[in-house]
Amino acid sequence: MLIDSHCHLDFPDFAEERDAIIQRARQAGIGLMLTISTRLDQFERVLAVAEAYPDVYCTVGIHPHEADDHVDVAAARLIELAKHPKVVGLGETGLDYFYEHSDRDAQKTCFLAHIVAARETGLPVVIHTRDADDDTAAILDAEMAKGKFKGLLHCFSSGQPLAELAVRHDMMVSFSGILTFNKARAVQDSAQALPMKNLLVETDAPYLAPVPMRGKRNEPSFVAHTAAFLAKLKGVGVSEITETTTANFLRLFDKVPHEAVSDRRAA
């Protein structure tokens, strides 16, 4: 089975046909979906989606765009919310200097709170970084030196040095539909160079639909197109990408119960 390691099933884009979208994902061989938190005041909505479906899990966290509204966030609050059995990761968090919807210092403060929570809980932190490679790398290097934690660079569109840093720190790197875009040669080069043990796939739905679905609203079933493209880049069969990325996801998000995985594979 494939796993969509990053989507936003709570977003209004999906509200009217969420059941049908999840059913299409199941029919496409998507065994699990991870729906991602972006604001703490909307976390209950994210959690409700995860609780409603046996094959959906979630994270808790604050997107860098929302950091200005969460400057006082404490790691303890994230740790408390992460106790729920359906919460298997922290984030998404990180740095976004492209849009700069939030102050850079506020973004860094939120990012560091998530890292503290990741060390305490053992859960992975899902990292968003855009036009902020140097600061992201500096934070990761400094914080890993204080104590290891698990991490994932999601929707990777950064440079090769950040991908290499992820490998050094035994982090995962996830590729979205961007990988399939004609002009995404640098992203494709990064995917080709990365070891298989560091790879994940995602949709980031409802955004960034892959070729041949580009221009449509993205949804978890479309992750199969990204996986197929990644297989071609790596020169392996789709089944190897499916098996490897699923195993990688389950190693990283190891709070997902084994029985949940077995049930979905049997289905």
Distance between CA atoms of residues 183 and 218, nearest Å: 19
pLDDT at 258 over 80: no
Q: What is the pLDDT of residues 75-131, one digit of tens each?
A: 999 999 999 999 999 999 999 999 999 999 999 999 999 999 999 999 999 999 999
Q: At which residue do the structure tokens 């849009």 appear?
A: 99
Q: What is the pLDDT of residues 229-244, one digit of tens each?
A: 999 999 999 999 999 9
| Mean pLDDT taken over the chain | 96
Answer for the pair 117, 75: CB distance below 8 angstroms, yes or no. Answer: yes
What's the confidence (pLDDT) of residue 20?
A: 98
Using pLDDT thresholds of 50, 70 and 90, give the confidence band for residue 259: confident
Domain total of the chain:
1
Beta strands per DSSP E along 134-216: 151-153, 172-175, 199-201
Q: What is the mean pLDDT of residues 121-143?
A: 98
Using pLDDT thresholds of 50, 70 and 90, give the confidence band for residue 208: very high
What CATH number should be reported for the domain holding residue 197? 3.20.20.140
What is the domain extent for residue 237?
A: 2-266
Q: What is the mean pLDDT of residues 126-149?
A: 98
pLDDT at 17 over 70: yes
- pTM equals 0.97
What's the confidence (pLDDT) of residue 219?
A: 98
Answer for the pair 31, 261: CB distance below 8 angstroms, yes or no. Answer: yes
- Output the CA–CA distances (angstroms, integers) from residue 76 to 64, 119, 120, in the order listed: 19, 12, 9
Q: What is the pLDDT of residues 41-78, one digit of tens each?
A: 999 999 999 999 999 999 999 999 999 999 899 999 99
Distance between CA atoms of residues 93 and 106, nearest Å: 11
Residue positions in the annotated binding site?
A: 6, 8, 92, 128, 154, 204
What's the confidence (pLDDT) of residue 265?
A: 67
Count of alpha carbons within 13 Å of 101, Cβ hemisphere only? 11
The terminus-to-terminus CA distance of the chain in angstroms comes to: 10
Distance of CA 180 to the CA centre of its chain: 17
pLDDT at 170 over 70: yes
Dihedral sign from CA coordinates of 180, 183, 188, 190: negative
Distance between CA atoms of residues 249 and 261, nearest Å: 11
222 membership: H or E segment, kind and range: none
Distance between CA atoms of residues 234 and 231, nearest Å: 5
Angle at 138 between CA 137 and CA 144, to 5 degrees: 85
Residue positions in the annotated binding site for a divalent metal cation?
A: 6, 8, 92, 128, 154, 204
